[in-house]
Structure 1
């Protein structure tokens, strides 16, 4: 009997692209292993990189593979591109591309606001002031320039998270300031930081105005509104274009050295790459990162229809690019976040569905029928259970929409009936069945504005829709 392969590895060659690599023996060296991987993934790995593996000694944290003896027999590895600025990606008929960072902002608003370090003068003043406050309770008196310096640093720190903080965000920052430096407390306010809150509020407005004049798109998009000289323009406080959900990078500036014209040329190149029979997914990802700011500007300023937008950006029909775009906007791994939360809640959801099905009501009867179908499945793997939960949850909550979940029997009709469907999930089957839930369909698809956007499994389809709505 032939012995099974000794090494079975999952290698991420891009953030959302993994390949399976099977080796019958340990490579002679790390360099030889990299050459083997490059041969398998050519031309996607035609550049310098290092390999990192999940080290069990450090709870699965990534460690650089330096010694080939550290290569696990079964595990996950990740390709890390060289930091050399001269390294770039190219295809046989593509110009060399400059390195483009994914985003400028990598953090959402924190649970605990971290007070920045101020100028040397202010830090010295606060150090002495805090010591005096601890001994006698005496607060410091700031000069106008010193207070302005503190507010400037605080505004910069806030801007690192969001340009339009809420009143609650500002209050948190003000409270953190006087907590870190109690000598700044205000005796006239009960909280000790109420005045700082309003000072920060006004400072942020002034800070945004200066950034807009400097060409920061994220705030410049809201400039040019109604004023004494322009009384007919939009109200300055209505319909402000700003992050409303979890967007970390709402409207970034264009990459250095690029403008709308040059990025439009890259957009055309993306279309050409997507239309190829053998798509270079790594190149497409690189080009999509480069044009991220152009897409965000188009979405925010023009608010296009989804169908028209996907015609201009067809790469967003690719599963890996949907997840990558979500990551560019929110800095969150969509797939990991969605499935980890779904799988974590699934056991409890199953209990709730069965408890509800045991009662007597129309909703209970529908759930009983679905659960009976589920119990008859020969294989109740994770996808089947996810299918059950995702179908059953809206019924349990009495929020089911008959127009959302649709079924297309390809044996009966050459085209699906998806007219008047603003958004929905289409289950594709090849069997005659009146069941409302199909646990083993041919496939599924996301429908938006009467058009199939992407073909996926049901869980993946709902994941992509959550990306659009979130």
Structure 2
């Protein structure tokens, strides 16, 4: 049995933390980095140094065998990270504030996808303001001089082909840290950030001043993807023509890439791991999941097998019954949250409830103005809202009214029964929530059980209330890579893009109209 250990983690000047390792010092530096990310809530890239007893100095950590119990570890951030903010403090503060804002949701999950034994997972979504990286030394010198000339006499700079290629290559390597397939709007944001930081590069005669840079960057990004595909990057090799020709099940035109703001859609296996070793981890996980008080071991193994699980989901597209049989540990509230955070880097229940409560008052005013048959349905639903003070019931009413407002049927998503009823229609549900009410007159919000059904299989139950069940169901659509139901497509789009604020640039007309009304 492994002996537990404690380490002093120095995060910065006057900022340190104590990290407890119940299973002892990890076997690899990557595992230790992941544990520091989880316990200290440190995001982004960093390396580690340890306090060497022989020299009494901090030395770069290359092997965890150099660490002893009660040793000191220093976190070293890249210069680019230090120039913006201190990842060791500000990120932890903001995430803690967000978690504390919803006390009714019990979650202490990390907001970053810190999968154990791997440093390849992205830790943040596409930024609001793209950070233009530092270019190679000679390029930076030329740009500094050109920017000075531009500020003094307005002279624009036309870089030679080699210098332009260096600039585009560096930008492409920065882009892929966030996503391999950026949208047109995201290329706009990169090109705009480039000419904003280096105004000498603005294009004369262009309406935006950066259109030519955007087009060049698109071509360079395509070439850069080819380079990464040739060296075996999973996210790109999955779409290679040769692979698709070898796999008869895959359409040549079917491209597997993020479509719903996934940050880690198809990650590489952790360093040093293979498909065979990860399958062994999965088999070990099957026995660990049935043990009592074993949550931490299960969590570590789920993190370690994340990439393996994603490859299975994306490539094999298993039925939910088979997927649950192979990965039973995933089908719990806590693990759905953790998986969603690994895929998107976004907290699930805390943000879902916070945003739902935040928009509720404005939604009520919008609902009151709805007329016709839909307006009458909404008023019938909101009658229960007015006579019940329970926050869980009020959230459920807002959700049902929102579905009606979007001209979709709430019963397609939420089926409610009395506990004495037996209705086999739940078995026919493709994707939805069932809520069983106790056979009592009061309170009206008393629920015997709330659960989730996918492909006719009850995958989760005892979820307390409808809002919580909907949040977990939304997380499961990502964890299992499920398409949104056609008859509820607009509802799930609003949940994703307005409530969870993921991929907000592309909205359908219905969702855009609702968003405009919410932010009037």
Partner residue of 1:442 out of 445, 448, 451: 448
Please state if 1:424 is matched with 2:441: no
For residue 79 of structure 1, report the CA deviation from its aligned partner. Answer: 9.5
What are the residue-to-residue correspondences of 1:288-303 with 2, within 5 Å? 288-303=302-317
Query: 2:469 is matched with which residue?
Result: 461
Helix, strand or coil: the match of 2:458?
Answer: strand
Structure 2 Cα separation of the partners of residues 132 and 106 of structure 1: 38
**Does the 8 Å contact 1:445/1:452 carry over to 2?**
yes
Which runs of 5 or more structure 2 residues have no equivalent in the other structure?
Answer: 1-17, 26-34, 42-88, 95-106, 478-483, 485-495, 497-520
For residue 205 of structure 1, report the CA deviation from its aligned partner. Answer: 0.8
What are the residue-to-residue correspondences of 1:226-375 with 2, within 5 Å? 238-276=253-291, 278-353=292-367, 362-375=373-386
More helix by share: 2
Q: Which runs of 4+ in 1 moved over 6 A?
A: 48-53, 58-61, 78-81, 232-236
Query: 2:184 is matched with which residue?
Result: 167
Structure 2 Cα separation of the partners of residues 256 and 319 of structure 1: 28
For residue 304 of structure 1, report the CA deviation from its aligned partner. Answer: 2.0
For residue 222 of structure 1, report the CA deviation from its aligned partner. Answer: 0.8
**Does the 8 Å contact 1:52/1:79 carry over to 2?**
no
TM-score between the two structures when normalised by the length of structure 2:
0.66
Query: 2:162 is matched with which residue?
Result: 145
TM-score between the two structures when normalised by the length of structure 1:
0.72
**Does the 8 Å contact 1:216/1:253 carry over to 2?**
yes
For residue 135 of structure 1, report the CA deviation from its aligned partner. Answer: 2.6
> Highest relative contact order (Cα 8 Å, sep 6+), 1 or 2?
2
CA distances 1:106-129 after superposition (whole Å, capped 9, x unpaired): 222222222110011000011111
For residue 333 of structure 1, report the CA deviation from its aligned partner. Answer: 0.6
What are the residue-to-residue correspondences of 1:386-401 with 2, within 5 Å? 386-401=395-410
For residue 133 of structure 1, report the CA deviation from its aligned partner. Answer: 2.1
**Does the 8 Å contact 2:374/2:407 carry over to 1?**
yes
Query: 2:144 is matched with which residue?
Result: 127
CA distances 1:40-59 after superposition (whole Å, capped 9, x unpaired): xxxx9566899989xxxx99
Across the aligned residues of Structure 1 and Structure 2, the Cα RMSD in angstroms comes to 3.9
Structure 2 Cα separation of the partners of residues 62 and 161 of structure 1: 23
Would you say how many aligned residue pairs link Structure 1 and Structure 2? Answer: 387
Structure 1 Cα separation of the partners of residues 240 and 383 of structure 2: 59
Asked which structure has the greater CA Rg, the reply is: 1
CA distances 1:374-415 after superposition (whole Å, capped 9, x unpaired): 4444xx2221221222233223443224343223433344x7
Structure 1 Cα separation of the partners of residues 440 and 177 of structure 2: 56
Which runs of 5 or more structure 1 residues have no equivalent in the other structure?
Answer: 1-33, 39-43, 64-77, 82-97
Helix, strand or coil: the match of 1:297?
Answer: helix
- Taking a change above 3 Å as real, the CA distance of residues 204 and 52 of structure 1, as seen in their structure-2 partners, is closer
Structure 1 Cα separation of the partners of residues 171 and 369 of structure 2: 52
Helix, strand or coil: the match of 1:386?
Answer: helix
